[in-house]
């Protein structure tokens, strides 16, 4: 049976539970599902509701047929004036932690392009199922934005170092078949089978022992998240990042995006 959970209007998500499988659909096409605070809070609220309802699997998706799964972080909400744009309390960072710590599997079902922070979002899910329209790009260098250490560790936990460097340094999207070759996605399926395939595997997972699944997921999270860094190394990294987000290049990147022009970075 379907048990709809009505999210607040400002959340820009639609949610449903069907036979212990929770479905979160991104619903802000006007902004290409940009990861605004409202949309991200909608995802977090849905996860909390699904946990209370006893959902055993969650599917995160965009509307059927959309060309852009998500455009990434809502650039209009990025802070300026020397404030860390990807601090611990940032709405995207909060949502990533919620997905990674959610006790049951979260599957990203991807049709269309995934940009910037949205790539971090789908990588934070436990699995990715995609079709041939899917592309993936990580784009902080287009904005002069210093990606945070936590985010880089997310990528290091999933992808080969040389692919991470190429994707971060070029900001160019990789196509679905390349993503499959590099292990970015678990399954690459025909476009007309994406929803059926994803829901089939979700419902299959939902029949398994939930306590065992939850403990295994948490064990894997703890084991992969445990990355000890000496205090002085962390402080050096933060100082390097501060140099970037206080730079003229970062201001130029945001201004160019808002003005819909190509940025001119001068290295200061």
Identity of the highest mean pLDDT range in 59-63, 82-86, 236-240: 59-63
Write the pLDDT tens digit of every residue in 108-155. 999 999 999 999 999 999 999 999 999 999 999 999 999 998 899 999
Could you confirm whether 203 is annotated as catalytic? no
Percentage of the chain modeled with pLDDT above 90? 70
Predicted pLDDT at 7: 46
Please tell me which residue in 22, 42, 72, 73 is annotated as part of the active site. 73
Predicted pLDDT at 194: 98
pLDDT band for position 232 (cuts 50, 70, 90):
confident
- Angle of CA points 18, 198, 219, to nearest 5°: 90
* Position with higher pLDDT, 249 vs 130: 130
Which of 22-26, 36-40, 88-92 has the least mean pLDDT?
A: 88-92
Predicted pLDDT at 206: 96
Which of 141-145, 178-182, 210-214, 240-244 has the least mean pLDDT?
A: 240-244
Cβ–Cβ < 8 Å for 114, 167: no
pLDDT band for position 9 (cuts 50, 70, 90):
very low
- Sequence-ordered strand ranges (E) for the chain: 2-5, 13-18, 21-26, 57-62, 68-70, 106-110, 113-115, 127-130, 135-137, 174-175, 187-188
Predicted pLDDT at 199: 98
Could you confirm whether 117 is annotated as catalytic? yes
Write the pLDDT tens digit of every residue in 196-207. 999 999 999 999
Please tell me which residue in 112, 117, 151, 253 is annotated as part of the active site. 117
Kindly tell me if the per-residue pLDDT of 33 is higher than 60.
yes
Domains, the chain, with CATH or none: 2-193+201-212 (3.90.226.10)
Kindly tell me if the per-residue pLDDT of 1 is higher than 70.
no
Region 93-119: what's the mean pLDDT? 97
Kindly tell me if the per-residue pLDDT of 105 is higher than 50.
yes
Residues 6+ apart with CB under 8 A from 211: none
Which of 4-8, 24-28, 106-110, 141-145 has the least mean pLDDT?
A: 4-8
Please tell me which residue in 22, 72, 144, 147 is annotated as part of the active site. 147
Q: How far apart are CA 185 and CA 194, in angstroms?
A: 13
Q: How far apart are CA 232 and CA 212, in angstroms?
A: 39
Region 235-254: what's the mean pLDDT? 84
């Amino acid at each position: 049976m379907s048990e709809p959970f009505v999210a607040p209007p400002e959340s820009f998500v639609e949610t449903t539970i069907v036979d212990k499988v929770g479905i979160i659909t991104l619903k802000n096409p006007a902004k290409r599902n940009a990861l605004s605070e409202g949309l991200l809070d909608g995802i977090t609220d849905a996860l909390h509701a699904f946990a209370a309802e006893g959902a055993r699997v969650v599917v995160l998706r965009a509307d059927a047929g959309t060309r852009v799964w998500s455009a990434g972080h809502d650039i209009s909400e990025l802070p300026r004036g020397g404030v860390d744009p990807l601090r611990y309390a940032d709405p995207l960072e909060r949502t990533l932690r919620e997905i990674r710590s959610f006790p049951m599997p979260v599957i990203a079902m991807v049709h269309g392009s995934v940009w910037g922070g949205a790539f971090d979002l789908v990588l934070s899910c436990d699995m990715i199922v995609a079709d041939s329209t899917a592309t993936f790009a990580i784009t902080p260098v287009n904005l002069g934005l210093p990606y945070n250490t936590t985010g880089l560790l997310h990528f290091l936990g999933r992808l080969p170092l040389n692919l991470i460097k190429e994707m971060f340094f070029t900001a160019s999207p990789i196509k679905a078949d390349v993503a499959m070759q590099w292990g970015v996605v678990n399954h690459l399926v025909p476009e007309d089978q994406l929803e059926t395939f994803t829901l089939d595997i979700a419902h299959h997972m939902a029949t398994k022992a939930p306590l065992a699944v939850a403990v295994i997921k948490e064990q894997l999270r703890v084991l992969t998240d445990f990355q000890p860094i000496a205090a002085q190394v962390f402080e050096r990294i933060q100082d390097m990042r501060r140099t970037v987000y206080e730079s003229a290049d970062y201001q130029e990147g945001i201004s160019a995006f808002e003005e819909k022009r190509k940025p001119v970075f001068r290295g200061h």
